[in-house]
Amino acid sequence: MHFRDNIDYPPMLTRPTVFVPLLTAIFGGLWWFQAGNSAIGRLVLGMAPWAEGNPLNLLTAAFVTVLVGFNIFVVMRLPLRQQVWLVWGELAALILLFFYSFDLSFAFIQRKIGFLITQGLVTTLYISAVSIAIATVLALMGAVAKLSSNGIAQGIAHFYTSLFRGLPLLMQIYMIYLGLPQLGYVVDAVPTGIAALSLCYGAYMTEIFRAGIESIPKGQWEAARALGMRPTSVMTRIILPQSMRVIIPPTGNQFISMLKDSSLVSVVGVWELMYLARTQGQTEFRHIEMMVTASLIYWLMSIVLELAQKRIETHFNKAATR
């Protein structure tokens, strides 16, 4: 809870005016959409083989509704943190169940997953990590340039953000890969991917950094300068550490988004995760297996970044949260 007001509201879901209509809606919805035909319906049929047609729909809807009701009953009795984690876990289990219902060949996944990780994941991580580092440096330079009194620097920075935020990332990859050779520079696929991702994300992050720096009241700059501190020290010791609070959440978004946008460099034939997921499935017509595996790997990487972001946020919030 971010804003506490020290009032005990009766939790929404314990009020009959809320949970009765809610459960009724779930029951009605499931019945209407003929839940009996679904995977859960087949499960219910196993328990009650006599049911069929409409009775099966009704039975399935009732089964799910009772399950949901019982779940809410249990969850509401737990402390807040456990509620959050339990609900998260249940939803994750549902998604996994959804994947499981595809009738996947786990033998095939087992055979391919090693290569997917050692070649695909490693390439994806390598490209993303290098691009993230370069993009951060570009963004810092871009933001400082935009806030400077140097007309040339400002002009370059404004043009840079305009161009690289304005062109589709895919286009940038092609332009570097196919365009630069026209000037006599042949660029390999991986450096192409890194260059395009760095430039594009650097442009977005320039704006994040600029807004973060501008969010610091000018009294901070004045106080530090009046103490005799040099502009660079004021920036690195006073302004930037404070703007981190504002900068980090959207930057975390950018990092997670870059992780997945790195799949675009597969168009120039880089053997990263997405490329392998598409090609490895082809030979045996096992596309779904590879897609599901790759999806889960992407998701796991995002979760790691999410956790890292949370830690960094806590660090920079130290002074603000008493």
Partner 1 sequence: MTFAKAPAAETAAPTIEITGLNKWYGSLQVLHDINLTIAQGERLVICGPSGSGKSTLIRTINALEGFQNGQIKVAGITLNRDQQVVEDIRRKVGMVFQQFNLFPHLTVLENCALPLRLVRGLSAAEARDRAMHYLSKVRIPEQALKYPAQLSGGQQQRVAIARAVAMQPEVMLFDEPTSALDPEMVKEVLDVMVTLAEEGMTMAVVTHEMGFARQVADRVIFMDAGRIVEQGPPSTFFTAPKSERTKAFLQQVLH
The rounded Cα 288 to chain-centroid distance in angstroms is 22
Q: Please count the residues of this chain forming the interface with partner 1, following the rule CB under 8 A.
A: 21
Length of the chain, in residues: 322
Q: Does 229 bind partner 1 (CB under 8 A)?
A: yes
CB of 305 to partner 1, least distance (A): 24
What is the amino acid identity at position 55? P
- Half-sphere exposure at residue 265, Cβ-oriented, CA atoms within 13 angstroms: 31
Q: What is the C-alpha to C-alpha distance for residues 89 and 95, in angstroms, rounded to an integer?
A: 10
Instruction: Answer yes or no whether residue 268 interacts with partner 1 by CB under 8 A.
Output: no
Residue from the set 7, 152, 183, 227 that interacts with partner 1 by CB under 8 A: 227
Distance CA 72, CA 63 (A): 14
Binding segment toward partner 1, per CB under 8 A, in 57-65, 130-138, 234-242, 275-283: 234-242
By the 8 A CB rule, do 15 and 72 touch? no
Quick check: 222 binds partner 1 (CB under 8 A)? Answer: yes
Query: Residue 146 CB, nearest distance to partner 1 (Å)?
Result: 22
CB 253 within 8 A of CB 69: no
- What's the rounded Cα separation, in Å, for the pair 135 and 129? 10
Which of 119, 104, 116 lies closest to 280 in space, CA to CA?
116
Q: Among residues 15 and 230, whose Cβ is nearest to partner 1?
A: 230
- Smallest distance, partner 1 to C-beta of residue 320, A: 7
* Closer Cβ to partner 1, 51 or 244, answer by number: 244
Task: For residue 226, state whether it binds partner 1 (rule: CB under 8 A).
Answer: yes
Pairwise CA distance, residues 153 & 159, whole Å: 10
Stretch that binds partner 1, among 97-105, 114-122, 133-141, 238-246 (CB under 8 A): 238-246
When binding is defined by CB under 8 A, the residue of 233, 257, 282, 314 that contacts partner 1 is 233
Q: For residue 129, give the nearest of 247, 251, 258, 253 by alpha carbon.
A: 258
Footprint of partner 1 on residues 282-321 (CB under 8 A)? 316, 318-320
CB of 228 to partner 1, least distance (A): 4
Residue from 181, 191, 241, 249 in contact with partner 1 (CB under 8 A) = 241
Query: Which one, of 125, 165, 132, lies nearest residue 251 by Cα?
Result: 132
Q: Left if phi > 0, otherwise alpha if psi is -120 to 50, otherwise beta: which for 217?
A: beta
Alpha-carbon distance of 202 to 205, in angstroms, equals 5
16 part of the interface to partner 1, by CB under 8 A: no
* CB 244, min distance to partner 1, A: 9
Residue 80 is a binding residue for partner 1 (CB under 8 A): no
Measured distance CA(252)–CA(205) in Å, rounded: 10
To partner 1, the closest distance from the beta carbon of 234 in angstroms equals 9
The CB-of-193 to partner 1 minimum distance in angstroms stands at: 36
Is residue 230 part of the contact set for partner 1 (CB under 8 A)?
yes
Alpha-carbon distance of 222 to 178, in angstroms, equals: 49
Q: Is 225 in the site for partner 1 (CB under 8 A)?
A: yes
Question: Does residue 3 belong to the site contacting partner 1 (CB under 8 A)?
Answer: no
Residues forming the site for partner 1 (CB under 8 A):
219-220, 222-230, 233, 237-238, 241-242, 316, 318-320, 322
